[in-house]
């Protein structure tokens, strides 16, 4: 099994390297075939190779910011989105680099044509690499171990990735350790699904001892521990969990980034926001903006701004979450929500300090109270300022359950860094092309408002 994983990593690395080399080769063709001859003082041979190598490095760096070139991990369309966004950013930087070398602007059309060629290369490479990966390794055969809470929701999600996961069997803990241990040896991986800590730890240790790949649904306390510092009291290892949110230095740096980026965003998006405002007003004559009280850091209330996407009297019967086929959403609102354009006015909230660019999404006080009745830990999200985008928005969906959103937001809070903020901002660009990130909840979907239970023991 270990040897198989070793060769698998080599093949995945080789496939990822192949697309980077192909894209760098296209840049080399454009550089040698057009731009090099226009430079006042052409490079020596090594200088040309350095420039091409720098372009390859740009592709790698931007792809990491957008999630990485992860063959066998992403769906095909996710991989294409990641590479296209990486290429666009790399090509813009490359053009600026060439302009600086020439000391004046050069025609951009060769790079524009190269971008089209890049798109063709990316699509061909994505389909070929995924086909090779599936052909060589196929879906990983897995066993699910569960307790009181059935894993039906998890299995349904994993069935959307039949190329990667194959749930062959599920077994209840009442079958006993000996039966479960024997079953675990028959599969490539095990999923430990929402079990009491003592039982879960026993199965986790067995997987570690026998080198079995193990997927675990973390509890709130597990996620809090991930942000702990490792310290040593003489020869005794300890984990120090500070539980303070962001430090003073981190808050200052984060606020400075919020001011700069939100100001630029307002400046660049002003024409688009004006057009949207005219369309919203022209559709039904109602208010352009939707204002609502939300909660941010330490429960502080603020008024959030959004473009109105629902009919004027949408909440005459009280607050409720938008559902997948919500009749309150206007035709204009559907477009705005699908493209996430209804969120643009929140740049003003960020600039004014009500919100941050990155953080847990702000909730309404009434809905927050209902969540807290079922999930008392839900107010842990208030340790940091609410955000325009966040970990739960990038890695989750609009209809992700509140309990899972809480876990995702805690991952962010406990592992905060400036680089993580920058990465999440870049990855937010990718979710604009993913419809599921703007879908409402299903009519029968379980949420904290509908009595979903979780084992935090």
pTM (2 d.p.): 0.82
Write the CB contacts of 34 (distance below 8 Å, at least 6 apart in sequence). 110
Would you give per-residue pLDDT tens digits along the chain (457 residues)? 667 777 888 898 999 999 999 999 999 999 988 887 777 666 666 778 888 999 999 999 999 988 888 888 888 888 998 899 999 999 999 999 888 887 788 889 999 999 999 999 999 999 999 889 888 888 889 999 999 888 988 888 888 888 889 999 999 999 999 999 999 999 999 999 989 989 999 999 999 999 999 999 999 999 999 888 889 888 889 999 888 888 899 999 999 999 999 999 999 999 999 999 999 999 888 899 989 899 998 889 999 999 998 887 766 666 666 666 677 888 898 888 888 899 999 999 999 999 999 999 999 988 888 898 889 999 999 999 999 999 998 988 777 888 999 999 999 999 999 999 999 999 888 777 665 555 544 444 444 444 455 556 6
- Cβ neighbours around 275 below 10 Å, total: 11
**φ/ψ (deg, to 5) at 240:** -105, 110
Domain ranges in the chain are 2-136, 139-217, 248-450
pLDDT at position 257 is 96
Token pair for 397: 């969906």
d(CA 7, CA 383): 43
Per-residue exposure over 376-398, b if at least 16 CB sit within 10 Å of its own CB, e if not: ebbbbbbbbbbbbbbbbbbbbbb
Which CATH code is given to the segment(s) 139-217? 3.40.50.720
């Amino acid at each position: 099994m270990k040897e198989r994983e070793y060769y698998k990593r080599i093949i995945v690395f080789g496939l990822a390297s192949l697309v980077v080399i192909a894209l760098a080769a296209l840049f080399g063709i454009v550089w040698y075939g057009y731009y090099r001859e226009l430079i006042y003082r052409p490079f020596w041979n090594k200088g040309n190779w350095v420039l091409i190598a720098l372009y390859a490095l740009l592709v790698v760096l931007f792809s990491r910011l957008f999630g990485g070139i992860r063959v066998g991990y992403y769906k095909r369309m996710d991989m294409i989105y990641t590479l296209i966004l990486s290429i666009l950013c790399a090509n813009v930087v490359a053009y600026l680099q060439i302009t600086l070398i020439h000391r004046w602007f050069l025609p951009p059309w060769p790079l524009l044509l190269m971008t089209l060629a890049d798109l063709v290369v990316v699509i061909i490479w994505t389909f070929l690499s995924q086909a090779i990966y599936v052909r060589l390794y196929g879906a990983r055969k897995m066993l699910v171990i569960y307790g009181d809470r059935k894993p039906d929701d998890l299995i349904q999600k994993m069935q959307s990735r039949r190329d990667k996961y194959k749930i062959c069997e599920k077994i209840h803990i009442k079958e006993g350790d000996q039966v479960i241990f024997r079953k675990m040896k028959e599969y490539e991986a095990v999923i430990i699904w929402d079990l009491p800590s003592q039982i879960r730890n026993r199965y986790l240790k067995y997987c570690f001892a026998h080198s079995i790949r193990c997927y675990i649904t973390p509890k709130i306390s597990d996620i809090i521990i991930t942000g702990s510092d490792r310290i040593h009291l003489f020869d005794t290892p300890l984990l120090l969990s500070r539980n303070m949110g962001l430090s003073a230095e981190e808050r200052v740096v984060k606020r400075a980034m919020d001011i700069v980026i939100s100001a630029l965003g307002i400046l660049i998006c002003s024409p688009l926001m004006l057009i949207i405002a005219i369309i919203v007003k022209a559709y039904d004559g109602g208010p352009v903006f939707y204002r609502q009280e939300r909660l941010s850091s330490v429960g502080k209330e603020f008024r959030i701004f959004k473009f109105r996407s629902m009919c004027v009297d949408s909440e005459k019967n009280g607050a409720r979450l938008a559902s997948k086929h919500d009749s309150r959403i206007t035709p204009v609102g559907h477009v705005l929500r699908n493209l996430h354009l209804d969120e643009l006015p929140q740049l003003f909230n960020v600039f004014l300090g009500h919100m941050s660019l990155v953080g847990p999404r702000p909730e309404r006080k009434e809905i927050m109270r209902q969540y807290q009745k079922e999930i008392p830990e839900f107010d842990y999200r208030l340790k940091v300022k609410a955000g325009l985008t966040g970990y739960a928005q990038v890695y989750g969906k609009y209809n992700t359950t509140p309990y899972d959103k809480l876990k995702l937001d805690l991952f962010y809070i406990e592992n905060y860094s400036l680089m993580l903020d920058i990465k999440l901002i870049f990855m937010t660009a990718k979710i604009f092309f993913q419809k599921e990130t703007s879908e409402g909840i299903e009519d029968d979907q379980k949420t904290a408002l509908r009595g979903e239970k979780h084992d935090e023991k």
